[in-house]
Amino acid sequence: MITVDQRQFGRAVKFASSVVGKRSTIPVLTTVKASANGALHLDGTDLDTYARASLPYDGDEAEFLIQSPSQVAAAVKKAGAETVSFDRRDKELRVEAGELVADLSHTMHADDFPTMELIAEETFGALVDASLFRLLERVRPAISTEETRYYLNGIYVHAIGDGAYRFVATDGHRLFVADAALPGASGEIAEGVIIPRRAIEKVIGQFAKAESARFVLGRTVKSNQPDKTLAPSAHPSRAGFTAEIDGVRFELATKLIDGTFPDYTRVVPAEHKFAMRMARADLLKAIKTITPLSSDKTRALRLTALRDGLTLELQSPDFGKSRFPVAAEHDAPADFYIGLNAAYLLDAANAFTGETIEFGLDDPGAPVTITDPDDGGFKVVQMPIRV
């Protein structure tokens, strides 16, 4: 029998089960595997992402599966006790938490649970803080969900020199680019890697609360050719994130997307003819005020330069026409206009954090660059649409 703190268990099982599907053609993948050996490891996986939470326990060595882990966590939380204990008994798992006694089915075999493909050998490692996870969250909206171009279904990370790294996502309609310095990183990112969206989302949810965490790239097995100059281990196959939060160690490892990220630099305009500068809050207010007045599919905002600012207009066959002004400084010619997808523009404006936002523009058919004059570390390129 093993006993653990109920709150730690709740956080640990929530993390481990966050990568687990409720249904799977492989039933054991709906479970969380518990291994008590020095620490209690709770493991969950969908064979692409591996999540392990490790916490202290009292008791003997043990190994068992928690079938329906989310429901077990919900029940022991409601039971309201300080601790929860587990006792594996042949075809049953006895769970006790305060006055709750549950003899849960244990019909699957722990041996059938897949090996956790965690990172055994690092090719790159950096100590990071919450700012990296905020950065991932800023870039995330541009990740493509289109499966045919699978190499766009993640965030592309590559080194740009001087200990700085670039994080890029695009769905072909917009491109979000963020730069971060990772001081004291060990190893290097020789070629860029693509971290899949699912892992990014789990990581943002879990690690944003950590005071510090590690971001690593590496391989699941140790290289046994340590002295070869061009070791096959140089190119990582996994990305990982680890952090300890309130006594529980969280570790997430994900397969990298095996594909080539397109040369995004080709779509980033080097310079623009005109610039428009406005308060980000004004732009957000204008977008949010007029976008309700359209049906979903036709949300093309027309942005027109006026002498003393600009106006956002939205025309919808069902709703009619609405407009809202935005105070702006610009050097575009009178009556210059461009069409932009309202939802994408909203994502872009929300991804910035500063007070001011600047649009770089050329002509109505050319991509728009959106930047913050006070923060060179984040940039959006958005393709225009016809209006």
Q: Which residues lie near a second copy (CB under 8 A)? A: 67-68, 71-72, 74-75, 78-80, 92-93, 95, 99-105, 285, 288-290, 292-293, 318-325
Nearer to a second copy, 102 or 234 (CB): 102
Nearer to a second copy, 99 or 227 (CB): 99
Nearer to a second copy, 271 or 318 (CB): 318
The one-character DSSP state at 298 is: G
Strands in 272-374 per DSSP E = 274-279, 300-306, 309-316, 320-326, 328-330, 337-341, 356-361, 368-372
What minimum distance in Å lies between the beta carbon of 36 and a second copy?
A: 20
What minimum distance in Å lies between the beta carbon of 32 and a second copy?
A: 15
Asked whether 118 and 251 are in contact (CB, 8 A), the reply is: yes
Q: Which residues contact 14 (CB under 8 A, 6 or more apart)?
A: 70, 73
Nearer to a second copy, 36 or 76 (CB): 76
What minimum distance in Å lies between the beta carbon of 292 and a second copy?
A: 4
Nearer to a second copy, 289 or 356 (CB): 289
Q: How far is CA 123 from CA 111, 117, 154, 215, 220, in A?
A: 30, 16, 20, 11, 11
The span from the CA of 339 to the CA of 350, in Å, is 19
What minimum distance in Å lies between the beta carbon of 370 and a second copy?
A: 21
What minimum distance in Å lies between the beta carbon of 321 and a second copy?
A: 5
Give which of 305, 287, 298 is closest to 387, Cα–Cα. Answer: 298
Nearer to a second copy, 30 or 35 (CB): 30
Asked whether 263 and 168 are in contact (CB, 8 A), the reply is: no
What minimum distance in Å lies between the beta carbon of 78 and a second copy?
A: 4
Nearer to a second copy, 3 or 289 (CB): 289
How is the chain split among helix, strand and coil, in percent rounded to 5?
25, 45, 35
What minimum distance in Å lies between the beta carbon of 77 and a second copy?
A: 9
Q: Which two tokens stand for residue 185?
A: 């990183």
The span from the CA of 315 to the CA of 322, in Å, is 7
